[in-house]
Structure 1
């Protein structure tokens, strides 16, 4: 079977649930038309709102600033739809839930130009001033193949990786749980670097192999920014194929959310032609500033002082905003959930883009017979440089630099012009004589997600010991056993998921919240198409003990 993001913590077939002819569920007649609030217009917010509308509810969408969340496709000034993908830009085909919505809205995708892929054409690796040109792994020095073999061996040795991934492909839940659940206990409190350096395969090699693995890695590039993270987080990326077979959305991924906003699907209760845009009067509402309990309802206050009560509220913003930007009544979550929300650790990320007159990097260098430039991985502060060819008659785009954590912080206070200058200087050392600046058009675009008050970081990067926190917030959509005072406020987003930084996590937690809100409003799934909450007790994540010896 084709690999998909099926588990491993909660192996539920979200794609099957979405496609089933019985639909996601039904609401009782007295709930139809009821308003529910959705905070955030990113992937989780808009997908949840879309499905809630189809169930017959009226989702009221609030957005603090810009529609789209971290699916942000910014158009270069003066161009005809030439975009810089400031947030999510590469989407693995194993993200079956997300691709359901891409196909539903008719979005076109193409292979993403990752290193050593056919889509990239060629790759240059530049480390410590030494440069290698390659079209495939075999073109690089033997050290790189040794690293690839060592990592594969480490995965097999310490995570029973081939058997576990095979179980995920077959969607064999007992086999997945039998291998994965013990790994949770074994690796929750250990880092990615511990996994690499402690493996027999890497111990047989020298430090240089680990260093190059951190700088270059495989798939999308270097891994060193993730070295301090919990190894469980990396295992999920590898197991679910999230770092492989990635594609980008032609014209920008943000259009998916705009198309869902304007879509007019068949809905319970609502007349033909109903859309989210129509139910919201053509525009999202403003920033949410406070959430309070009001009897069985939740009172929401916006930035203009307007107060509305709702039977259910879905918050899809970064979890830190629930303690900084939004005044949330403390009793709406228990203290263990607050601990989990507050301890979410977000990673920094920075990107710098330029539009250029044409894909000049494909020109042949007369001296080497190679392309003038290639997809580039380097230890210089640009770290990863990507090229996007929009066709011979349209401007092209270069992501001059995509960096994380410390490398992203290096440019945090710098204006866009300085960031471009630093990137051009770094690339000038790798490609001497190539006049990149002479091809630049329009105004460059950059982003540092940690500097945006509505995000405070790019995506979650769980530290060792964070499994219990993730378990609490992921499972919070199961509210039937909560005290009544804690029911009705739901959370979703990739940071709530087990797979942060991947939009599939936003989709899956959005669908969890849809099930939670539907059942909170008295609804239920069809028996032949049970939802995530119907199977959570049976197939949910393993619970780690909090006591001694845990």
Structure 2
């Protein structure tokens, strides 16, 4: 690869560069149980991406995973909704159009998601991302009341005073601190170089916010106005000015895995991936045909309210559900957002004074920061926006922040609808502005601003808003979520390292998290991943937990296919520790 060519987005996570897609390609499995442990019952709490991936791989390895889910749905198995933030709504069976209320775009670097999706029969199509000239007819940046129609982000260099400087300095800063070279090292699978360079970045910038990096002379060195414009125009998927107080490392991880990349969406809706995990027929370790649906009797069990975690790992975990049922399992994998351990699920030990989670992990759970996020979508008969400036993506400093137009092709049945206009997709304080607003109020507010930005389609937009059907969500108001996902702030690296390392217990020869009890409870899910919000990394966290359960039960990797924990002591893999600077003792 030429050093001057744009490096590809990273297809492995730099903090733990294990290739999960290669590990599970074809018929490969995360491991196998010894003959005496086959059929061991394992509780998997949460039927989101992480939980379903853990359960699916545990099933293939010889366990009997029992899935629990708190979310309800009238059309889900047993009245339970699969998928977590893989949440697709098809408002009518005749519609080809679907609304993605959670995950909706996936970079081409997300090989694990694509691999599972291909196995389950999903169809991937390019997503209309901002500045994606080959896919998106137009990206309109609306800022300070002015409109700037573009095809590529570099078009803004000649259209907006100051943007060229801001964007150029941002890109130069990424190269100067080694981000682009890390991407090249990942592509070349030079993991030693990845480790060295990422260690330097973590040591130097772990205490920096995104905003400080944009403004500081040792970062991009932008003025306030340049940073503001860059934050509105975007520096990657969803990296808005509302993310300025995030830790810089969080933004760099986002850039590493998604920039540059082509974003894809699932034609059938991403909930189909969850349904694939659930219903897809696979084989267990003995070659017998089976599925999660089969071994769970057709439906997940109801919400978990308490976990009794034995101090002796061999005695497992007792799961208590909202309907009064209790059952002991050889192990348990907990995948919902971890704030539920403080607000909705009691985790206790039969031994007085002994908590199932050590102090460091409890501290990390308490310090998680969840981000608000809101979407409002309008489902309409036809893509009425074709040929107008609304056809594509609108980025604005006004209330909607981001609007997208999607066409799902011919309707599936008579009277069906094919088109979706995402009136708004927002985060943080922008989401909070409408958190208390009704669906009708949200639609009216977003239509007001979009009509002003796109006057040639304003009347048609208002008519379509009155005749179409809208759907909305604020993830911070969802009982079992309380926010879309967590994002790290400056100083959170150690917390995130401890959460990620929980699956390792003491399997590497010493506790991966000092002071952590060696019991049969495993934490997984988006909160434990290094780069939140990306489904690929949530799936990987479930695979980590599955590996840990198998190791606890005496299992091992298949020959020639070491799992994530098998490489923990390899210096190219174990997550970096912060190197403490030398300090002169005070006098």
TM-score, normalised relative to structure 2: 0.88
CA deviation after TM superposition for structure 1 residue 334, in Å? 0.5
Give the structure 1 partner of residue 122 of structure 2: 107
Alignment partner of 1:166 is 2:184:
yes
TM-score, normalised relative to structure 1: 0.94
- In 2, the alpha carbon distance for the partners of 1:504 and 1:28 equals 29
Matches within 5 A, 1:18-167: 18-19=24-25, 23-65=29-71, 66-77=81-92, 79-117=94-132, 118-140=134-156, 141=159, 143-157=162-176, 159-167=177-185
Give the structure 2 partner of residue 439 of structure 1: 464
The answer to whether the 8 A contact 2:30-2:558 is kept is yes
Give the structure 2 partner of residue 420 of structure 1: 443
Give the structure 2 partner of residue 194 of structure 1: 212
Structure 2: stretches of 5+ with no match in the other structure: 2-7, 72-80, 350-354, 412-416
Alignment partner of 1:543 is 2:543:
no
Matches within 5 A, 1:64-463: 64-65=70-71, 66-77=81-92, 79-117=94-132, 118-140=134-156, 141=159, 143-157=162-176, 159-199=177-217, 202-203=220-221, 206-241=223-258, 244-269=261-286, 271-272=288-289, 274-294=290-310, 295=312, 296-329=315-348, 331-362=355-386, 364=387, 370-371=388-389, 373-391=391-409, 394-433=417-456, 434=458, 435-440=460-465, 441-463=467-489
Cα displacement string for residues 147-170 of structure 1 (whole angstroms, at most 9, x for unaligned residues): 22111111122x212321111111
Cα displacement string for residues 502-534 of structure 1 (whole angstroms, at most 9, x for unaligned residues): 111101111111110110110000241111101
The answer to whether the 8 A contact 1:62-1:286 is kept is yes
1:46 is paired with a residue whose SS is: helix
CA deviation after TM superposition for structure 1 residue 235, in Å? 1.0
Cα displacement string for residues 475-521 of structure 1 (whole angstroms, at most 9, x for unaligned residues): 11111345895421111112211100111110111111111011011
- In 1, the alpha carbon distance for the partners of 2:348 and 2:259 equals 37
Alignment partner of 1:17 is 2:60:
no
The answer to whether the 8 A contact 1:76-1:442 is kept is no
- In 2, the alpha carbon distance for the partners of 1:358 and 1:416 equals 22
The answer to whether the 8 A contact 1:216-1:377 is kept is yes
- In 1, the alpha carbon distance for the partners of 2:400 and 2:120 equals 35
- In 2, the alpha carbon distance for the partners of 1:122 and 1:358 equals 18
How many residues are aligned here? 541
Give the structure 2 partner of residue 367 of structure 1: none
CA gap of 1:3–1:242, structure 2 versus 1, over 3 A, is closer
Runs of 4+ in 1 over 6 A off after TM superposition: 545-548
**RMSD of aligned C-alpha atoms?**
2.1
Matches within 5 A, 1:454-533: 454-480=480-506, 481-482=510-511, 486-533=518-565
CA gap of 1:345–1:397, structure 2 versus 1, over 3 A, is same
CA gap of 1:186–1:516, structure 2 versus 1, over 3 A, is same
CA deviation after TM superposition for structure 1 residue 208, in Å? 2.0
The answer to whether the 8 A contact 1:358-1:392 is kept is no
- In 2, the alpha carbon distance for the partners of 1:103 and 1:308 equals 35
The answer to whether the 8 A contact 2:528-2:541 is kept is yes
- In 2, the alpha carbon distance for the partners of 1:202 and 1:183 equals 15
CA gap of 1:222–1:215, structure 2 versus 1, over 3 A, is farther
- In 2, the alpha carbon distance for the partners of 1:372 and 1:338 equals 47
2:258 is paired with a residue whose SS is: coil
The answer to whether the 8 A contact 1:115-1:221 is kept is no
- In 1, the alpha carbon distance for the partners of 2:106 and 2:45 equals 24
